[in-house]
Amino acid sequence: MSGYLLDANVLITPHKQYYPFDFAPSFWEQLANVLRRKDATILRVVSKEILNKMNDFLSEWLKEIKEDIKIPSVERNQKVHDNYALVLQHIQTCGFYTNTALLNWARDGVADPWLIATAMDNGYKIVTNEQPSGNLSSKNLQSNPKIPDVAKHFHVQCISLFDFMRAMNFRM
């Protein structure tokens, strides 16, 4: 299987900064269509992050399309669950992250390790606004792992929202 997994920040940032619903409704219509076609997926843990933290147009949009796009709960998939454990083990043992980093990623409701674990199992690319830290070192331990850094270790590709929009032929 191939496709794309959307990180919460590729929904929240456009909504708040450059594609608000009143200014760029075509972005949201195109994104909904991509999700309906199953070319991209929003995991339940990402959906919960948005619905629990926000009470605005974005959460209303997600509620409206939620039934059409069938948001998967991957936490119950054994292979994904095993991959999730591998992701957390990497954070713990690679020598680049603090114990706080592991605790943060292991918290209930944190989508980042689930995105990587799901992508590992399904061949998805992760669409995220996060940038690699670029300076991973055992001398400069990080407390905030970045999806692209950890995903790279597991041969999972990450792309930007704009690259995703180009791949899906969005037109503004």
pLDDT exceeds 60 at position 74: yes
Percent residues over pLDDT 70 in the chain: 98
> 32-61: buried (b, 16+ CB within 10 Å) or exposed (e) per residue?
bebbeeeebbbbbbbbbbbbeebeeebbeb
Q: What is the mean pLDDT of the chain?
A: 92
List the domain boundaries for the chain.
Answer: 3-73+161-167, 75-159
pLDDT tens for each residue of 3-32: 999 999 999 999 999 999 999 999 999 999
Residue 92, Cβ neighbours under 10 Å: how many?
14
39 beta partners: none
Strands, E assignment, 82-141: 124-127
> Which pTM does this prediction carry?
0.94
